[in-house]
Copies of this chain bind each other. A is one copy, B any other.
């Protein structure tokens, strides 16, 4: 983790914050069409159509919610399936940890967004010793296998680790406590997790290293600057969708016949 600068802005084509809203808006119109192509293909051919899954991981205040609002908010809500993973329910705990993940995978034509994910099962679970090491340590390989299978099945995975600094997290927690309209976002447990920062960084490092596969690489997103963070995830989504190079689906009806029918109707 030490090799990554949380305040960096790699790949950003602007001159800083002042360009961010223009750049993100421009990305928005590109994304909008790309997402519609994905959605259209999902409708036309659900079996063959690709899916996209954005996985968001990061410490509290790193901006998972902000990305949903400002990056995923750029496209038609109809095409976005958001799933937030909390501490597992009683029902979920009865199953393998990937069970609830599999149940929430995006369907054809959809952009799935996971706010937290199966990585919690090697992050909080590891730091808090919620299962024995013998158990969590086997999960990295299992996750790699699961993700490889997903990708082979036609899902494009965009895994983002939102890298916020220890100092910036403090400022953001303090800001939540300085404004009564932000109290609801504050959770005393966040400070407990903060007190275990080095252990969390170690756990993140392990997840980044052991699960950085060719099929499903990690992107470490510098997250101290919100405007960069939002732009960067939107840009990754744009790249993935562009790369799919989806044509508009062909008509499954006779266009001339239908033009006549409408004209006569």
Chain A 229-265 per-residue mask, 1 if CB under 8 angstroms from chain B, else 0:
0000000000000000000111101010011011101
Task: Tell me, yes or no, whether A89 is within 8 Å of chain B by CB.
Answer: no
Q: What is the total number of copies of this protein in its complex?
A: 2
Q: Are B65 and A184 in contact (CB under 8 A)?
A: no
Task: For A261, list chain B residues within 8 Å (CB).
Answer: 188, 191
Dominant secondary structure at the A interface: helix
A262 partner, pick from B44, B170, B248, B253, beta carbons under 8 A = B170
Q: Are B40 and A184 in contact (CB under 8 A)?
A: yes
A201 to B259, CA, bound (A): 24
- A residues 57-90 with Cβ under 8 Å of B? 65, 68-69, 72-73, 76-78, 80, 82, 84
Q: Which residue of B lies closest to A255 (CB)?
A: B177
Query: Closest approach, in angstroms, between the C-beta of A89 and any C-beta of chain B?
Result: 14
Query: Closest approach, in angstroms, between the C-beta of A17 and any C-beta of chain B?
Result: 19
In the complex, 29 of the A-B residue pairs with CB atoms within 8 angstroms, ordered by the A residue number, are A36-B181, A43-B184, A44-B184, A68-B76, A68-B77, A69-B77, A73-B73, A73-B76, A77-B80, A77-B82, A78-B115, A174-B259, A174-B262, A174-B263, A177-B255, A177-B258, A180-B251, A183-B248, A183-B250, A183-B251, A184-B248, A184-B249, A186-B251, A186-B253, A186-B258, A191-B258, A191-B262, A191-B265, A195-B265
